[in-house]
Chains A and B, each alone.
Chain A
């Protein structure tokens, strides 16, 4: 059963431009789903509609079996963690966490034991009496999480909750949130614009751009098998080559590049005009290229040494901005600038995507 379903949801603020268009998305029970995209892509609007702060212009939203499209915020039973934590400064840590229980009329003894458990869960035992202003950013974050979980909501929404933390703390909190999710089994929907964060934490990632859901998939699949040029470029790095599909055979196709050369690639697009997306680490050099379906002569233009890897700029196929990454492992070929070398890649690693 799905925990959340968006059915043909559209949202327009001004009646002309759609902030979210034709969204269909189902979230599985207990899943950790991340909505990923640049700012203005519609991911936050989607979350805001699910939380109930905004109403969709068209379409319906279900939580479990219940149509919540017109249900007011406070009746949706969603735990939410906000970007800037939104802790109530007029209340102590304990009062903040007790807030959702208090407005639900939970008995005092029950409230106290639940608050204590929630504090223990985020490793803040004994902090109940503190003022929120006395806490560090990471501690405030944990209070916000405890407050969102204390009333055992069926669904937890997290809106860029780690954006304000420094990198080290962010990585630690990513791990803690993920562990909490594993332990409680509650469905979590997470919004971020940080692709590494999305990849690290999620069961699945939904990529948004310009109000549209572009692809939903497990992190690895999203990276290895992007279905659009946007996804290929937004997640990690891709070389793109434009051309025309000349023939198809099974799931493979032959593409004539604008420069004239021919490349064998995995066909994703149905149209003939195409962009080829090729990850830099999938390009192999020298002798290793011999077994590849695609082989071309190239010249090394520039080399950067990044410690664990080498980053090469290559001139090939009539251009000089092809990027390749080589792991700093034994048996590196000679690749000083100016070296002529053969490069190659497999058809599976090169995807012919729609324009």
Chain B
């Protein structure tokens, strides 16, 4: 019996080795560097409380991630609900509309939004053609643009997580509530909505932690004016070569994300969040 299991432990080994050497070790190095560069101590972490530009970046990051989460949940809930209520055929079409952008790379999508929202893009062309404005409206290279594109990137995560949750809810419960005298709104508010709470928590957390570490979208649509923590970190390494500050920010980001996930894992099965 033990020898039989040994064979299976052996085939697990390559992946584990890869993960440890090529993934966990570098992450550990980031943590170590953050408290040793330029000299041992927590001086880098003190910047979280003293540096104005660090704080501004963190605030921007939290604000954008928060707003993205809010919009993604709101829009995502409506779409997931409509999908849950639709016929199987419609569901398939809707799912395709959700998966299509999900699969296109974030870089391509961010570029697409830059094109759409830019001064010569179709939206501004339409606005000027209808005479609503004379000048192009600044939709890109600011926080509005970042937010639109981030919501676009995050919506599929929200929709898929919420939809998976809603699919597990017996629609007969809503019928039961109605037969017992509840109006449509009451049945939704008292029965359906409470049952989607795990989905809302899961989707909200997922979108929030993914938004926190976003790099490409704010970099492209922010036009250098909207600095979120990932891009700010990259700048510390590539422009000013401040490894201590850079790794500290990276470590903070990682701890925030993993801490949130750990807290969430006490409420729901986190592994399922990532299997969509």
A88 interface neighbour in B173, B181, B183, Cβ under 8 Å: B173
Q: How far is the CA of A104 from the CA of B190 in the complex (A)?
A: 13
A80–B195 touching, CB < 8 Å: no
- Neighbouring B residues of A76 by C-beta, 8 Å: 179
- Closest Cβ–Cβ distance, residue A343 to chain B (whole Å): 51
- Closest Cβ–Cβ distance, residue A11 to chain B (whole Å): 17
- Neighbouring A residues of B186 by C-beta, 8 Å: 103
What's the A-B contact tally at a CB cutoff of 8 Å? 64
A86–B182 touching, CB < 8 Å: no
- Neighbouring A residues of B181 by C-beta, 8 Å: 74, 77, 100, 103-104, 151
What are the 6 tightest A-B residue pairs by CB atom distance, in nearest-first order? A86-B176, A100-B180, A80-B179, A90-B194, A73-B178, A103-B182
- Closest Cβ–Cβ distance, residue A90 to chain B (whole Å): 4
Question: Using an 8 Å CB-CB cutoff, how does the interface string of B184-209 with A read, 1 for contact, 0 for none?
Answer: 00100011001101000000000000
- Neighbouring B residues of A99 by C-beta, 8 Å: 177, 180, 182, 190
Size range of the interface on B? Answer: 10 to 19
Given A88-B173, A88-B177, 6 additional A-B pairs, CB 8 A: A73-B175, A78-B179, A79-B180, A86-B172, A86-B173, A89-B173
A74–B190 touching, CB < 8 Å: no
A80–B180 touching, CB < 8 Å: yes
A86–B190 touching, CB < 8 Å: no
A73–B195 touching, CB < 8 Å: no
B170–A86 touching, CB < 8 Å: yes
- Neighbouring A residues of B191 by C-beta, 8 Å: 88, 90
Q: How far is the CA of A148 from the CA of B179 in the complex (A)?
A: 9
A89–B195 touching, CB < 8 Å: yes
Question: Using an 8 Å CB-CB cutoff, how does the interface string of B97-118 with A read, 1 for contact, 0 for none?
Answer: 0000000000000000000000
- If A88-B191, A90-B191, A90-B195 touch, whether A103 touches B172 (CB-CB below 8 Å) is no
- Neighbouring B residues of A157 by C-beta, 8 Å: 179
What count of chain A residues pass the 8 Å CB interface test?
26
- Neighbouring B residues of A51 by C-beta, 8 Å: 179
B179–A74 touching, CB < 8 Å: yes
A52–B190 touching, CB < 8 Å: no
- Is A142 in contact with chain B by the CB < 8 A criterion? no
- Neighbouring B residues of A52 by C-beta, 8 Å: 179
- Is A139 in contact with chain B by the CB < 8 A criterion? no
Residue of B whose beta carbon sits closest to that of A85: B176
- Neighbouring A residues of B194 by C-beta, 8 Å: 90
Question: Using an 8 Å CB-CB cutoff, how does the interface string of A130-159 with B read, 1 for contact, 0 for none?
Answer: 000000000000000001100100000100
From B175, B179, B191, B195, residue with most partner A Cβ within 10 Å: B179
From A74, A84, A147, A157, residue with most partner B Cβ within 10 Å: A74
Residue of A whose beta carbon sits closest to that of B182: A103
- Neighbouring B residues of A84 by C-beta, 8 Å: 170, 172
- Neighbouring A residues of B172 by C-beta, 8 Å: 82-84, 86
- Is A13 in contact with chain B by the CB < 8 A criterion? no
- Closest Cβ–Cβ distance, residue B101 to chain A (whole Å): 33
- Is A53 in contact with chain B by the CB < 8 A criterion? yes
Residue of B whose beta carbon sits closest to that of A148: B180
Q: How far is the CA of A86 from the CA of B172 in the complex (A)?
A: 6
- If A82-B172, A86-B172 touch, whether A147 touches B179 (CB-CB below 8 Å) is no
- Neighbouring A residues of B183 by C-beta, 8 Å: 74, 103
- Closest Cβ–Cβ distance, residue A54 to chain B (whole Å): 11
- Closest Cβ–Cβ distance, residue B190 to chain A (whole Å): 7
Q: How far is the CA of A157 from the CA of B177 in the complex (A)?
A: 14
Q: How far is the CA of A99 from the CA of B194 in the complex (A)?
A: 14
A73–B179 touching, CB < 8 Å: yes
Question: Using an 8 Å CB-CB cutoff, how does the interface string of A44-80 with B read, 1 for contact, 0 for none?
Answer: 0000000111000000000000000000011011111
- Closest Cβ–Cβ distance, residue A76 to chain B (whole Å): 8
- Neighbouring A residues of B173 by C-beta, 8 Å: 86, 88-89
- Closest Cβ–Cβ distance, residue A107 to chain B (whole Å): 16
Q: How far is the CA of A103 from the CA of B186 in the complex (A)?
A: 8
Q: How far is the CA of A83 from the CA of B175 in the complex (A)?
A: 12
- Closest Cβ–Cβ distance, residue A61 to chain B (whole Å): 15
Residue of A whose beta carbon sits closest to that of B171: A86
B178–A74 touching, CB < 8 Å: yes
- Neighbouring B residues of A102 by C-beta, 8 Å: 190
Residues of A215-264 whose CB lies within 8 A of B: none
Q: How far is the CA of A103 from the CA of B182 in the complex (A)?
A: 6
